[in-house]
């Protein structure tokens, strides 16, 4: 296996690099905390150190980066693609890094900006590369449908004929973190495992009645600020055990996405989730609550499929 290509998912706080061989084989991966915020002013040096840390990697390999590295807060602001541009054209729109030394083939994938019928605007950076991977993994026809990519900013996307036809982003993970770290719900949202991003007290979602109660509440009463105070009212009147509020709030926030999806996604349309197993399980519980089927795609396989496809197109360009 000869190393031929490096793909980097470079987000706000973390990055993950994959070293790919000419035949598409994954040779090595590296993940670290050198996110876009931490690398301000020293992106080039940080990238060279990362490349040097990969086995068999030569400094002359082409590097494609995706994510917030291409935002205004990142290395170089890369304009968004318009939704009319098919995902299959992503490789042709990679932006060369202006600061790259001569001979380096460094480029950044553009995000997408999607405008709705009423003029509303939504954006993504990084997820377009995952969707490009899904398209290659599933095939263009089979990839039609709705996708949820959970996270700090949870994305709901509709793909049709290789294009992003709808995009709705929810500030789910960010709001959960804000409420858990600050404010009047924070102490009740502390759980035994501070690393448990969803705040569940149990090993499985199905075992946590407060998560499911939050999902049901989000479906019945859509005003989030009222539902959030409801968590506090239940805590101070003894109706919600200390430490259980995180699961309830998690249910309210993810449940709000699914309540909205009932209005936005037709009942017979398949929905797929691309995300970490723990978050995918929470979405599966929401899908079950609403009587919908959810197909779970392995986020790592999707990302590797994207790098392989980009490598092929980049190396033959």
Provide the binding-site residues for a second copy, judged by CB under 8 A.
71-72, 80, 113, 120-123, 153-154, 168-172, 174-175, 177-179, 181-184, 222-226, 228-230, 232-234, 236-237, 239, 253, 256-257, 259-260
The residue (of 101 and 222) whose beta carbon lies closer to a second copy is: 222
CB of 302 to a second copy, least distance (A): 22
Q: Do residues 180 and 189 make contact, with C-beta atoms less than 8 angstroms apart?
A: yes
The residue (of 50 and 253) whose beta carbon lies closer to a second copy is: 253
The residue (of 89 and 223) whose beta carbon lies closer to a second copy is: 223
The residue (of 51 and 198) whose beta carbon lies closer to a second copy is: 198
CB of 12 to a second copy, least distance (A): 9
Evaluated on CA atoms 242, 244, 250, 256, the torsion sign reads: negative
The residue (of 99 and 120) whose beta carbon lies closer to a second copy is: 120
CB of 41 to a second copy, least distance (A): 18
CB of 109 to a second copy, least distance (A): 16
CB of 293 to a second copy, least distance (A): 22
CB of 199 to a second copy, least distance (A): 16
The residue (of 10 and 170) whose beta carbon lies closer to a second copy is: 170
Q: How many CB atoms lie within 10 A of CB 62?
A: 18
């Amino acid at each position: 296996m000869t190393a031929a290509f490096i793909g980097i998912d470079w987000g706000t706080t973390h990055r993950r690099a994959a070293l790919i061989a000419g035949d598409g084989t994954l040779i090595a991966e590296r993940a670290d905390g050198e996110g876009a915020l931490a690398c301000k002013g020293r992106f080039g040096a940080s990238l060279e150190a990362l490349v040097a840390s990969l086995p068999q990697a030569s400094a002359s390999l082409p590097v494609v980066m995706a994510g917030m590295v291409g935002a205004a807060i990142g290395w170089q602001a890369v304009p968004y693609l318009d939704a009319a541009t098919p995902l299959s054209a992503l490789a042709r729109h990679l932006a060369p890094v202006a600061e790259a030394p001569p001979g380096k083939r460094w480029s950044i994938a553009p995000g997408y900006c999607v405008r709705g019928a009423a003029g509303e605007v939504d954006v993504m950076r990084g997820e377009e590369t995952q969707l490009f991977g899904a398209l290659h993994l599933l095939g263009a026809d089979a990839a039609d449908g709705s996708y949820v990519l959970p996270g700090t900013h949870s994305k709901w996307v509709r793909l049709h004929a290789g294009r992003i036809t709808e995009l709705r982003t929810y500030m789910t993970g960010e709001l959960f973190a804000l409420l858990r770290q600050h404010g009047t719900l924070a102490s009740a949202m502390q759980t035994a495992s501070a690393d448990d991003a969803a705040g569940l007290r149990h090993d499985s979602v199905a075992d946590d009645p407060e998560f499911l109660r939050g999902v049901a509440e989000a479906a019945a009463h859509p005003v989030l600020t009222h539902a959030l105070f409801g968590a506090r009212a239940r805590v101070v009147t003894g109706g919600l055990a200390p430490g259980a509020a995180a699961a309830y709030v998690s249910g309210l926030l993810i449940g709000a996405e699914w309540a909205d999806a009932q209005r936005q996604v037709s009942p017979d349309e398949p929905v797929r989730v691309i995300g970490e197993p723990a978050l995918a399980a929470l979405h599966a519980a929401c899908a079950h609550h609403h009587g919908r089927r959810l197909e779970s795609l392995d986020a790592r396989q999707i990302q590797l499929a994207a790098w392989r496809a980009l490598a092929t197109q980049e190396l033959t360009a």
